[in-house]
Amino acid sequence: MNNNKKILITGGAGFIGSHLTEKLIEQGNEIFIIDNLSTGRLENIKHLQDNKKLHFVKGSVLDEKLMAELIAQVDEIYHLAAAVGVKHILEKPLDCLLVNLNGTEIVLRQAEKRKVKVLIASSSEVYGKGDKVPFKEQDDRVYGSVYNNRWIYAFSKGVDEFLGLAYYKEKNVPVIVVRFFNVIGPRQVGRYGMVVPNFVKQALKSEPITVYGNGNQTRSFADVDDIIRAIIKLMDTKQAEGQVINLGADKEISINNLAKKVKELTKSSSKITHIPYNQAYPDGFEDLRRRVPDISNVRRMIGYEPKFSLEETIKKIIKYQQQA
C-alpha cells in the first residue's frame, strides 16, 4: 500500500485535492502540495497545517523550475490542478488552455526524468456531445464549434489524455488517466457553477433554487470519499498504467429531481425556479442531456463500488455548509 511514500498533489488545496491529502497523510505518507489558490483554499487544509508530513507551496504548475524541484523529491504525483468550472472557463478561456495543457506537459516532462508515476485527473467533459449513454472509455467524441468557448475545457482535457498516453507509450512514464464524473462532497464551492453546493446554499438561505434550462437533463453524482478511495487504489494497480478510466457513480438523476431532493433534505421553503440558458450563459451555450459513466472497467480493475448514496452525500454537504 501507499505507506511512507513522498507524494506530490498539484491542486492539493482544492476540493478533491484536500480530501486526497487528508487520506494519504492518514496512511502515513509525506505530502507535498502545490496550489496557486485560484480555486483552492487554504481553509480546506487548515486542519492539517501543523502536521510535519505536509509541505504546502503556493505556486503554479506553469513554473517549471519549481515543479522540477518538487518532482525531484517524490515517488508519485496526483495531477489535479486545472482551470475548473463552466463559468470560470467561459470568462477566462486562455487561462484554462495554458493551465490545462502546459501544466500537464510540465508535470509529465519532469516526471519522465525519474519515471515518477503520474495520475492525471480528466473529466466527463471529454465526451463532448456524445449521446450514447452510458459513456465508455473508448467511445468516439463530437465537440462543438471552435468559436464556442464552452468546449475549451473538453478539448484541453482531451489533449491532456493524449499527452499522458504518449508519455506512457513513448517515454515509459507510468501514467494513469482518470475521468471524473460530477464528484461532490463537503468543501466544494458553488462559485464556479457547481450545482449541488449551489442548490444546498440556496435552500439553506430559503432563496429560490435555480435550475438552468428545463431541468430534465440528468447527471450522476459521486461522493468524494468514494472517488479518493478509488484513485489511491488505482495508483497501486499496475494494470491501470497506460489506461483511461471512468470514475463516478452510475445512477442518474434529473436536475429537477435533484433540486427537489435538496429542498426535502434541508426542509427548505425555497421555491424551485427555472432560468433559460441564454440568461445564465453567453449565446450558444450547449448542455448535455445525459452524462452517465460506464464504470465496468474500474469495477473489474479494483472492485470499485460506490459506498455512499446521493442522499447520504447531500446530507454531508448540508452539515458542512451549516457549520461553515
Q: Compute the distance between CA of residue 321 and CA of residue 196 in angstroms, rounded to an integer.
A: 12
CB-based contacts of 33: which residues, under 8 Å, 6+ apart? 8, 9, 10, 12, 13, 17, 21, 45, 54, 55, 56, 57
Q: At what angle do helices 255-266 and 195-204 cross, to 10 degrees?
A: 40
Q: Is 320 a catalytic residue?
A: no
Residue with cell 469495477: 299
Residue 216: beta bridge partners?
none
Q: Compute the distance between CA of residue 298 and CA of residue 316 in angstroms, rounded to an integer.
A: 25
Q: Which of 143, 153, 167, 281 is catalytic?
A: 153
- Write out the catalytic residue numbers: 153
